[in-house]
Every structure is written in C-alpha cells, then in structure tokens.
Amino acid sequence: MTENINLRAVALDILIETEKDEVKAGEYIRSVLDRYGYLDTRDRAFIKKLTEGTLERRITLDYVIDRFSRVKTAKMKPVIREVLRMGVFQLMFMTHVPHSAVCNEAVKLVRKRHMNGLSGFVNGILRNIIRNPIDLESISDLSVKYSMPKWITERFIQEFGSEKAEDIFRASLESRPVYIRTNTAVIEPEELEKRLISSGISVKKIPEHRGAFEVSDFEAIDRMPEFSEGLFSVQDLSSMTVGEFASGDFSNAQEINATADVSDLPRTIHVIDVCAAPGGKSCHVAELLKTRGTVEARDISDRKIDRILENRDRLGLENLDAVVMDACVHDEESDNTADILICDLPCSGLGVMGRKNELKYRVKPEDISALAELQRSILKNSVSYLKKGGRLVFSTCTVTHEESTDQKRWIENELGLIPEAERMYLPSPGGPDGFYAASFRKI
C-alpha cells in the first residue's frame, strides 16, 4: 500500500490546508500522520519533516523564491506557492534528496493539479535556484536568515540585544531535546533510569532538576511501558521550575530574596492551579506533596479538564482533582483557602516557537499587550484565594518583558506580594524552552 502513496502530494495537501487561519498546523499534521499510520516510519518522518520544515522556514523560502521569480510568492496561486516552497526547502535543507527528484516531483504535482501551463514556470525557478544557490550565512537580515517575522526580530533585538536574539532564533529552528520528569511519588529516579536504559533508550541525567532526564533513541514515547505505568511525564526543564518554586526549591532561581520552603506552610497544604491544562505542573506539585497536600486543578472547559484527569489517572495521583472553572471569574468560596496558588497563565508562547512551528506567524504585536492585560485580570481575580503567608507562583511560556519581568513588578507593586525568587530561561541551541517563573509570598 505504501508505494501507492505520493508522499509529496500528502505534504502539499497539508500545507494548503494549513494556510487557512483557523487551522492549527501542529494538530493538523499530527492528525494526518495518524491517518497514514500504516506507512512505514521513514515515510511518515519524510512527510513530517517536509511539512513542518516548509512551514517553519516560510519567510526564508519566500525570500529565495522571490529572488528568482517575476511573480512574487504573495501573488501566486496557493498550489504553486506551496509546491515551490516545498521544492526550495528540499533543495536547501533536505540535501539527501537528489536535485533532479525535487524538480521532477514538483512538476508532477503541478500537472496532477491540472496546471500544466505552470509546470515550466515551477521547473525553471527550481533549476535556476540549483544553479545559483544562496548562502544563508551571508544574509545579515535575521528575519530572513531565521525565518522570523520582522516585528518579533525587532522586539527581541530591542529587549535582549542582537547576540541573544540570534541565539533564540537559531534555537527555534533546531530540533528540541525531549525531557522527562520522574514521578517520584511512585519510583526513584535511579530506578527509572535503569529501566529506560535496559529498554535501549538513551538517557542523560540533568543534575539541576531532580528526577529529570533527557531521552532519545525511542520511536513513540507514549508507547513506552514506563509511560503507560505512570512512571514519568514529558515536561521541558524550564517548566519544571513551577513545581520546584511551589515546593520552595529555589536552587534554579536567578534572583532570590527568600529561602523559605513548604516546611513553614501548614502541615496539610492546599494548592489551587487556576489555568492547569494539560496538567503537567499540577501533577508535578501533587507528586512533590505526596500525602502532605491536595491539588485542585482548574480550567475553562470539560475538554481541558479531561486532559488533566487523563494525566492524573495515568500517574496515579490520588491527591489531585480537577474542576471546570473560568479563571477570569472570581470564586468567592475559594477566598483564603490556598496555601499555594499557581498562575501559569495564557501568553504569546514565544518561548516555545521551536516546538510549535506556526506559532510565530499566528501571534501579532497587539496580542502581547492584550495577553498581559488578561494575565493581570486573572491575577486580580485569584490573589484573594491565597492565605496569609501563602505562596504564589506566576509563570508564562514566553520571554517578552511585558509578559514576564514587567508582570513581576506589577504583582509586587499592585497586589502587594513579596517576591521570593525568579527565573528567566532564554531559548538556546540544545537547551530548554523559553520560560519565565516567579515566586511570591503574601504577607
């Protein structure tokens, strides 16, 4: 059956569909790959790399195409635009694919779509690019070089400087490490490490985060017996900081004003996580508390709550419950009930661009201020849930100052909480995702 499937035709269909604003590319690509689950691993990997890479490098690809075409990409028919993008991506970033195959298959795709008159146009552009290759390293414009929207490029250079901004952009295009967190409520990290290694999985210990490992050489992580048994969760190192801060472990903080841990909280601790789905951080805290406390994970819909409960049940966490609740609506019954309040809030997500290929094209400049205002609204609604002496952990999976360090100052000045610790992770090649976390106490 595999030989009857034109892999590039599948990729083309995906790319045309994901040009629609309402389609989330990552989810759509996964759904298509599931549909073609009968293909062998290599063929599905080819579709995944071609579609994700073409999406991710769109700005760079359009720059190259426009150098060789009188008709600019913005004016092309969608099919021709995506065929050319796919072709240029293969020429520049899938160098194991023969140039002749790239051109011939592109022409076939155009003819299959009954656009025979444009096959020569497509063939001519691709062959001209082959004869006159462009060296990306010679391009000084970071937006073009790293396929990053202009406004993000300019904003990150302004906030972090050219060198750090370029590191962030470079990291966004590299394959991201896979990190897992041991469920220490049921197994010791050393035992989990032995089990994974015995299964042929490469495991690298991360000393800075207890129970954390970088794993590789596996086919599907959710099919591992250890995953099904709830022995670990997949979680980036940076987001593990939330659970660590909640428990008073500030060893990974960059700025520390206090060193109190959960030992100075009541013997029985109650945690509220106001925007919890899919539940990774709630589960982490529940694992760390074990029998000492309970976690109430909240989110806005039944679908999101189901995801949290699915993770809870897999991990066997009896001290975690989940309920549907809108964090923007104040819940009076929760006032003065939480010893720990987790506010991992909606944000632009620009710290995880390397894992969400289309995200940088979806976010608009005006979204940043709107999201920062939403964060403050949720914080205002939630802060009264915290008992006197309780701890608030605020976090976002982005690195813009407006959604991170500016919010820390706002929490301190407007809500009157005392900062304990903070950590900003800037994405870097081979490292964790971008993330911000800050811990506060209510006096």
For residue 124, what are its two tokens? Answer: 């001519």
DSSP secondary structure, 32-64, as one string? HHHHTTTS-HHHHHHHHHHHHHHHHTHHHHHHH
Domain assignment present for 163: no
Query: Which pLDDT value is given to residue 1?
Result: 39
Q: Same domain for 16 and 128?
A: yes
pLDDT in tens, the chain (443 residues): 345 789 999 999 999 999 887 778 888 999 999 999 889 989 999 999 999 999 999 999 999 999 999 999 999 999 999 999 999 999 999 989 999 999 999 999 999 999 999 999 999 999 999 999 999 989 999 999 999 999 999 999 999 999 999 999 999 999 889 999 999 999 999 999 999 999 999 999 999 999 999 999 998 898 899 999 999 999 999 999 999 999 998 889 988 886 566 667 777 899 999 999 999 999 999 999 988 899 999 999 999 999 999 999 999 999 999 999 999 999 999 999 999 999 999 999 999 999 887 899 999 999 999 999 999 999 999 999 999 999 999 999 999 999 999 999 999 999 999 999 999 999 988 889 999 999 999 99
DSSP secondary structure, 277-324, as one string? TT-HHHHHHHHHHGGGEEEEEEESSHHHHHHHHHHHHHHT-TTEEEEE
Domain boundary residue, one of 139, 167, 199:
139
For residue 65, what are its two tokens? Answer: 């195409």
In angstroms, the CA 97 to CA 95 distance is 5
Domain assignment present for 210: no
Domain assignment present for 213: no
Query: Which pLDDT value is given to residue 25?
Result: 87
Handedness of CA 133, 138, 139, 145 (dihedral sign): positive
Q: Same domain for 132 and 245?
A: no
Question: How far is Cα of residue 245 from the mean position of the Cα atoms in its chain?
Answer: 21
Domain boundary residue, one of 139, 156, 190:
139
Domain assignment present for 193: no
Query: Which pLDDT value is given to residue 438?
Result: 98
Nearest alpha carbon to residue 285 among 112, 110, 101, 439: 439
Give the domain range for residue 275. Answer: 237-441
Domain assignment present for 201: no
Read off the CATH number of the domain in which 41 is found: 1.10.940.10
Domain assignment present for 46: yes
Whole-number Cα distances in Å, 187 to 181, 195, 208, 281:
11, 11, 19, 18
Rounded to 5, what percent of the chain is helix, strand, coil? 50, 15, 35
In angstroms, the CA 408 to CA 127 distance is 53
Query: Which pLDDT value is given to residue 3?
Result: 53
pTM: 0.92
Q: Same domain for 117 and 263?
A: no
Largest separation between any pair of C-alpha atoms in the chain: 76
Q: Same domain for 425 and 283?
A: yes
DSSP H helices, 96-188, are 99-112, 119-131, 142-145, 150-173
Domain assignment present for 161: no
Count of CB atoms within 10 A of residue 149's CB? 16
Domain assignment present for 167: no
Q: Same domain for 129 and 247?
A: no
Q: Same domain for 255 and 374?
A: yes
Read off the CATH number of the domain in which 319 is found: 3.40.50.150
Burial of 113 (0-12, 13-18, 19+ CB in 10 A): middle
Q: Same domain for 125 and 246?
A: no
In angstroms, the CA 314 to CA 210 distance is 21
Whether the CB-CB separation of 281 and 273 falls below 8 Å is answered with yes
Whether the CB-CB separation of 435 and 397 falls below 8 Å is answered with yes
Domain boundary residue, one of 139, 157, 183:
139
Total number of domains constituting the chain: 2
